[in-house]
Amino acid sequence: MKRILRLATFALVAILGLAGCSSNGDDPLADGVLTIGMEADYAPYNWTTNADNASEYAYQISGSDALADGYDVRIAQALADELGVELEIKKMTWDGLIPAVQSGSIDGIIAGMSPTEERKQQIDFTNAYHEDNMDMVVVVNANSDYANATSLADLAGANLSAQIGTFHVDLLDQIEIADNATAPLPDFASLIQATASGSLDGYIAESTTAVVQVENNSNLKIIDVGDEFEIDPSISQSAIGVKKDTGLAEKLNDALATIDDETRVEWMAEASRLSGQE
């Protein structure tokens, strides 16, 4: 019933918002809706689920019967509530998120995205809404020749890949992977499937997401390479991406400031627990 009421409210707000948006210039929230894009495939930040497995904070994905759940969803809801607008969540591919913000089809990206200098050339970012220790690992097929690796050197010659459009791809350059290694793949679902089937030896991931992936697939194993990866410190932050020069980043920063650090830690811990149980 709660979700039905949300949808009904969303429809009413959208109609009323359209009636007055012409007098609000380029305000992304003029329609009374905060439209957020995410992969819904990146637990514990965000993932897709159904009503039977959803937490009380799950939110319906626009144009779908499925629900989005996870830490990013909690953040998005809190921001929409603070701003006094309805929330809409759109599921899309990772490499489609920035173009969607630029075109205005979504207002913001809440998807565990790091505010790298390259991305800042394309869109604006808010302050960080989460900061991780960025413990990077390699997930391999549990039955592969690399299952007992303990260092990057042990992975030399492996057919490794990473998700396209992420800094994980750059980390591949720090490993002497196979000359004919698989090109970056579009999402973690593809990486997991390829590695579990044996067509790929493994892929790079953050430890927080890798733990969830391995718990849900017995064919996978985490290779902890310690701090061997050289990583830009700014990568450890996740921020909200928005269209340039709209003023939305400032509004979201004000709303983010109302969520204290302790609450953010609790939400991430809960999302990690829930995603590991699915």
pLDDT tens readout for residues 62-90: 999 999 999 999 999 999 999 999 999 99
In this prediction, the residues of the chain whose per-residue pLDDT falls under 50 are: 1-25, 277-278
d(CA 222, CA 51): 30
Tell me what pLDDT residue 128 has.
Answer: 96
**Which pLDDT score, from 0 to 100, does residue 238 have?**
95
Task: Count the neighbouring beta carbons within 10 Å of the beta carbon of residue 193.
Answer: 14
Amino acid at 230: E
Contacts of range 248-256, beta carbons closer than 8 Å, 24 or more positions apart: 248/28, 248/29, 248/107, 248/108, 248/124, 249/124, 249/125, 249/126, 251/29, 251/83, 252/79, 252/83, 252/108, 252/126, 253/126, 253/127, 255/78, 255/79, 255/82, 255/83, 256/79, 256/126, 256/127, 256/129
pLDDT attached to residue 277: 43
Sequence-ordered strand ranges (E) for 123-263: 124-131, 136-141, 160-161, 202-206, 220-223, 237-242
Classify residue 27 by its DSSP letter. -
Closest residue by Cα to residue 169 from 205, 139, 197, 141: 205
pLDDT for position 151: 96
Give the pLDDT of residue 77. 98
Q: What is the pLDDT of residue 21?
A: 38
SS3 78: helix
